[in-house]
Amino acid sequence: MTIKTSNSGLCSAVAIAALIAGSPALAAQIEAKSRISSVIVYPDSARIARVLEIELPAGATSVLLRGLPLNLDPASLRVEGEGTTPFSIGSAQTRVAPADPKAIPESAARRLRDLQTQGETIKTRIGALEGRRGMIQRFADAGPDKLGGSGGLDVAKWTEAIEAIGREFAKVGEDIRITTAEQAAVQEQIRALEASNRGPSGAQPARDVIVDVEAPAASKASITVTYQVRGAYWRPAYDVKLTTDKGAKAQMEMVRSALVRQRTGEDWANAEIAVSTSRPGRGVKAPDVFTERLAFFDPQVYARDRANNAGVRESVAREQVMAAAPAPAAMRAEEREAVLEAGDYEAVFRIHGRIDLASDGSEGSLRIGTRQITADLSVRAAPAFDQTAYLEASFVNTEEAPILPGEVSIQRNGVFVGRGQLAMVAPGAQTRIGLGADERVKIERKPVSRKENEPTWFGQTKQEVREFRTTVQNLHPFPIRTFIVDRIPISENTAITIEQLAATTAPNDKTVEGRRGVLGWTFDLAPNDTKEIKLAYRMRWPADRDVTFETLPDNGERPIPLPRPVR
């Protein structure tokens, strides 16, 4: 018979914030072996479940579990158990265990002791040299008139004495420099020796967990200890295979995978692994909102903020490149579909089978699922920047789980066309994926005219008119939906006015994705048909002032001026 403990006297699932303490002195202590049963990997951490099977004697017992990761969060520690006879769980505690010197091989330990002795000897030599330099300094401070007895040193020997003091200063300084370099070399050897003999469970500090239990009679028990650790994460990756059928509809297969990496300090061996969309390390409340002030423009502050913004973007880009860098897979897993458990606030994908993943930072790929999508095809272009038409597929996320941001590998009709990024897509929301260039849709954007006046006296207004023409041609044997995006500048200063002229082809969207001044034209283009779009606007500003174009980012940073001053 198996009996699960419960909170009614037989305490189950005891949730106790871990305290740094030892086990009770009167309780018997049993050191137990455990294995990792399951792991839930979050985008910023992991939750580990360890199971230990133990023979509990009658009475109070302290069960000791050694060698857990040092970065274990004590507040996350939870314990539950079951046994052949009832037993109760009293408390769960953690303590930091120092590194075990026995974990270092004897030969390495002997070499380490020799280096440490050598380091102490060098330290003594440096102390003696520093004392000698202090003595020479005292002679120099006394001056030659205080040396050589009561009458002082003969003036004729002052030069010789000064040179002697200088030589001694130089010699002792050089001796200190050489000895200090020797000390640094020995310390470097000590650090290298320690590092080479420190593995995931080697000579490094760890945490021990002590679980206090009490059984009225001897019992076979199974105790599960769960805890949160940092040093693990997963990120989604997608493979999209598009099959077109000469039309605006296409079949798209999307394979979703989880790329898992961990440096928690313990290997995950033969464990059940799941990935979750929840983020325990993100925080539990919304940020505070503080007062915002509108102030006059300060060029020095502007330049400093621009440099800071650039530094932040460069740092983020470095981290993204490092995160996306391919690493040898250390995962042995069958390519089977995961089981989705979708809740109101998170989605958990439970991977089939048991998996090994070492704590060395290697990245393993776990297949989560495959879905068939019927997508609507269209082309999109921003000819002011790139006169290329890009094929897009739009679809609705019909799953119960969100589609997380991640890298997408694109194949079109069996040919690899490149990689892109997929944004966050909530259940029921619509999104689009870029599918590479469409060479059968030709786009050309040309300036038609540019007119400006030349002010001849102070205080006159300068005026400039610009006009562009974009031509779109469909060379497909079927019609295709087309989106063209362009822009006119905006002004937030009353001294600068911008006017869209009547020659402009009326746009379908005057604020594409909520961006002021960004215009969009949507139309269905018949086979071998051509569409022409005109864009014209007038700008006015005081002739005695210079103006420049600024691109306003979406992330709230200060605008960054482009090197295109308007004069």
Residue 329 above 50 pLDDT? Answer: no
Cα separations (Å) of 494 from 1, 498, 544?
Answer: 84, 10, 15
Q: What is the pLDDT of residues 210-250, one digit of tens each?
A: 888 888 888 888 999 999 998 898 988 899 888 876 665 67
CA dist., res. 386 & res. 389, Å (int): 8
Q: What share of the chain is helix, strand, coil (3-state, %, to 5)?
A: 20, 45, 35
pLDDT attached to residue 36: 92
Tokens of 130: 């520093």
- Answer whether 0.75 is exceeded by the pTM: no
How remote is the C-alpha of 270 from its chain's centroid? 27
Q: Which of 391, 418, 437 lies at the terminal end of a domain, its last residue?
A: 437
Q: Tell me the mean pLDDT in the region 172-195.
A: 83
The answer to the question of residue 84 being in a domain is yes
pLDDT attached to residue 474: 94
Identify the residue with better confidence: 62 or 106: 62
Identify the residue with better confidence: 479 or 404: 479
The answer to the question of residue 302 being in a domain is no
Parent domain of 550: 441-566
Would you give the DSSP letter of residue 544? T
Looking at 162-171, 254-263, 421-430, 522-531, which range is the least confident one? 162-171
Residue 543 above 80 pLDDT? Answer: yes
* pLDDT band of 156, cuts 50, 70, 90: low
Residue 185 above 90 pLDDT? Answer: no
Q: What is the pLDDT of residues 114-130, one digit of tens each?
A: 888 888 889 888 888 88
The answer to the question of residue 97 being in a domain is yes
The answer to the question of residue 286 being in a domain is no
Is the same domain home to 327 and 401? yes
CA dist., res. 108 & res. 114, Å (int): 10
Is the same domain home to 423 and 325? yes
Q: What is the pLDDT of residues 68-112, one digit of tens each?
A: 888 888 888 999 988 888 888 888 888 887 665 555 566 677 788
Residue 471 above 90 pLDDT? Answer: yes
Q: Is 25 left (phi over 0), alpha (psi -120 to 50) or beta?
A: alpha
Is the same domain home to 264 and 391? yes
Is the same domain home to 109 and 189? yes
Residues facing 62 on adjacent strands: 29, 212
Q: Which of 437, 465, 500 lies at the terminal end of a domain, its last residue?
A: 437
- Asked if 52 and 32 count as a contact pair (C-beta separation under 8 A), the reply is yes
- Asked if 260 and 231 count as a contact pair (C-beta separation under 8 A), the reply is no
Domain total of the chain: 4
Burial class of residue 129, CB neighbours in 10 A (0-12, 13-18, 19+) = buried
Residue (of 125, 123, 128, 124) closest to 190 by Cα position: 123
Residue (of 398, 397, 401) closest to 349 by Cα position: 401
pLDDT attached to residue 362: 80
CA dist., res. 460 & res. 478, Å (int): 54
pLDDT attached to residue 422: 85
Q: Is 239 left (phi over 0), alpha (psi -120 to 50) or beta?
A: beta
Is the same domain home to 166 and 265? no
The answer to the question of residue 185 being in a domain is yes
Q: Which of 417, 437, 457 lies at the terminal end of a domain, its last residue?
A: 437
The answer to the question of residue 467 being in a domain is yes
Is the same domain home to 260 and 370? yes
Instruction: Give residue for tokens 């006059």.
Output: 296
Looking at 163-177, 303-317, 429-443, 467-481, which range is the least confident one? 303-317
Residue (of 546, 540, 463) closest to 494 by Cα position: 540
Is the same domain home to 76 and 125? no
Identify the residue with better confidence: 97 or 420: 420
Is the same domain home to 321 and 370? yes
Q: Kindly report the number of other CB atoms within 10 A of residue 281's CB atom.
A: 13
Is the same domain home to 267 and 391? yes
Is the same domain home to 110 and 207? no
pLDDT attached to residue 326: 41
Would you give the DSSP letter of residue 42? -
pLDDT attached to residue 337: 61
* CA angle (76, 278, 350) in 5-degree steps: 95
* pLDDT band of 290, cuts 50, 70, 90: low
Helix axes 158-196, 106-142, angle to 10 degrees: 160
DSSP string, 370-392: EEEEEEEEEEEEETTTEEEEEEE
Is the same domain home to 407 and 459? no
* pLDDT band of 4, cuts 50, 70, 90: very low
Instruction: Give residue for tokens 């979406």.
Output: 554
DSSP string, 418-466: EEEEE--B-TT-EEEEEEEE-TTEEEEEEEEEEEE----STTPEEEEEE
Contacts of residue 338, defined as CB under 8 A and 6 or more positions apart, other chains included, come to 274, 275, 349, 350, 351, 352, 366, 367, 368, 369
Is the same domain home to 418 and 537? no
Mean of pLDDT over the chain: 78
The answer to the question of residue 496 being in a domain is yes
The answer to the question of residue 95 being in a domain is yes
- Asked if 566 and 464 count as a contact pair (C-beta separation under 8 A), the reply is yes
pLDDT attached to residue 97: 74
DSSP string, 134-187: HHHHHHHHH-GGGSSSTT---GGGHHHHHHHHHHHHHHHHHHHHHHHHHHHHHH
